Structure 1
């Protein structure tokens, strides 16, 4: 029986075509991953804030509970009628019960205020606790979404690295790269943006990367514009939506403009003189290339 034939090796053109498809898919997954991460951070932050409020409220209630207990003890020592006190806390209408006791002269105004405060804080505590629990559930849901996206993207990254190494085109980059000097036509804020972006040249593309040792495409644009004092959202989709009122024609690009690919899977920075600086894909590094050689369909640009 003859030996089994091995699967034929793909041609260079076939491998590059497959790599391009993987890159497009990875761009979209990276953005979903980044979006899920941002949502998780927001949900977790909401929970942390409410949890702090809950603990603060809990301490207030504990203090009021101690005051109420002390009032009960004082009333007992003074021979006052305290048989109604349990009903105050078990009543469906404690505020009305308290008012009735005050009218009957069984409670001083000060005691009434303390007990009313006790009731209010208890009600507030429950509301805060319920909010915190809902926020935590939302955070857990977002965390699960992040993990699912992360698993998918790790598989894509492994495929890309394998293919790039087979092509002899894998570039691990240097997280400590000092980049290159920007000498283009930008001025003002755009010059600050491009000086920062050019200083990152040579650093590796890292999915979910926001620096300083590596970036994904929107992580680089966000960090570069932050260097100029402008706060951009985290993901490509969010940056495109944020810049809805700042969109400019691709025929009127100026240095510093953000250029988005079709499908919003990728974003780069226009550097002037027909060039862009961007973090391309896994296995590559932050680099400066000609816009004409970019090789992707473009959907538009925004000017932060």
Structure 2
């Protein structure tokens, strides 16, 4: 969403220089309109890439969590198998010392696969019920060990792939940010913000959850836009909306696309907006919070800060709104 992106006062005008023959020629620097148009395109592209970055990050977190859980399960099963293996070895030693199956102990200790040992030990007919239960437990856990290991390894591969996706999108964002910052500085419109901003107090008429949402969002005013930002010192658009509604006890997904999909059954008309509603831009590259009285609060883009602006200042089409 684009609100108050570039101050008109930061105009870039045609400069004139004299040619060797004394004629005036135009400086090739862009006009204000050209610079603003270029910045709009950069911001639009950055919106989409940031959302892809956030999506990739969420997938990576989920994949990494899955891997961690499976790997922990594998380690627990590995420890269980090791303990049961020790018990089985003790059983084999006892049987050997008492004159049991003489070939079972060396066979077990020298074999990578305990299945053969278990089969031969069972054939001796000298295994008590208690020992048989231990052997069965060892056999069962050992068979499941490989499956647990394979699942963990596959999950790790998925997590690594998702991590690579995050790094790719991050590299693209950093490239876009460099271009945005350079252009904003030329326009004298770069605002680094204050990560420790105390924001402003919400004094509107909203009540209930909406009031809680807006109090939180207003308290973030002045903090910088940061891609992938989830606070407290910086925010991106969907990070701000997620945290604001979390303060009211409502759990929203992380990305703009996910929030829009989550609100499929909560869509509201743009002609019937109420404070706290989330407003989405066409293309779902940006989301803001309706503050009432024709205003919104949002985290715009690189080089800007969380701010309260008029909805009418938005130059792009809106796709719709949801009421969490």
Q: TM-score, normalised by structure 1?
A: 0.93
1:50 and 2:73 aligned: no
Partner of 2:273: 253
What displacement does 1:83 show?
2.7
Q: Which runs of 5+ in 1 are unaligned?
A: none
1:221 and 2:254 aligned: no
Distance 1:89 1:106, change over 3 A: farther
Partner of 1:279: 299
| Counterpart Cα distance in 1 of 2:137 and 2:120 | 11
Partner of 1:15: 35
| Counterpart Cα distance in 2 of 1:119 and 1:91 | 8
Partner of 2:174: 154
Partner of 1:289: 309
Partner of 1:133: 153
Partner of 2:54: 34
Is the contact made by 1:232 and 1:239 (CA closer than 8 Å) also made in structure 2?
A: yes
Partner of 2:10: none
Is the contact made by 1:94 and 1:119 (CA closer than 8 Å) also made in structure 2?
A: no
Q: Equivalences for 1:56-67 in 2 at 5 Å? A: 56-67=76-87
Is the contact made by 1:200 and 1:286 (CA closer than 8 Å) also made in structure 2?
A: yes
Distance 1:58 1:72, change over 3 A: same
Distance 1:12 1:78, change over 3 A: same
Is the contact made by 1:72 and 1:82 (CA closer than 8 Å) also made in structure 2?
A: no
Is the contact made by 2:240 and 2:299 (CA closer than 8 Å) also made in structure 1?
A: yes
Is the contact made by 2:252 and 2:259 (CA closer than 8 Å) also made in structure 1?
A: yes
1:204 and 2:256 aligned: no
For residue 218 of structure 1, give the secondary structure of its aligned residue in structure 2. helix
What displacement does 1:295 show?
1.7
Is the contact made by 2:198 and 2:220 (CA closer than 8 Å) also made in structure 1?
A: yes
Higher mean displacement: 168-177 or 6-15: 6-15
Q: Of Structure 1 and Structure 2, which has the larger fraction of its residues in helix?
A: 1
| Counterpart Cα distance in 2 of 1:295 and 1:270 | 16
Is the contact made by 1:98 and 1:116 (CA closer than 8 Å) also made in structure 2?
A: no
What displacement does 1:94 show?
7.9
For residue 283 of structure 2, give the secondary structure of its aligned residue in structure 1. helix
What displacement does 1:7 show?
7.3
| Counterpart Cα distance in 1 of 2:112 and 2:61 | 39
What displacement does 1:105 show?
2.9
1:238 and 2:250 aligned: no
Partner of 1:262: 282
Tell me the alpha carbon deviations over residues 242-295 of structure 1, each in whole angstroms, 9 at most, x when there is no partner: 111111111111110100000000000001111100000000000001111122
Q: TM-score, normalised by structure 2?
A: 0.88
Tell me the alpha carbon deviations over residues 30-64 of structure 1, each in whole angstroms, 9 at most, x when there is no partner: 00000001100111111111111111111111101
What displacement does 1:100 show?
5.6
1:108 and 2:108 aligned: no
For residue 282 of structure 1, give the secondary structure of its aligned residue in structure 2. coil
For residue 263 of structure 1, give the secondary structure of its aligned residue in structure 2. coil
Q: Which runs of 5+ in 2 are unaligned?
A: 1-18
| Counterpart Cα distance in 2 of 1:32 and 1:237 | 9
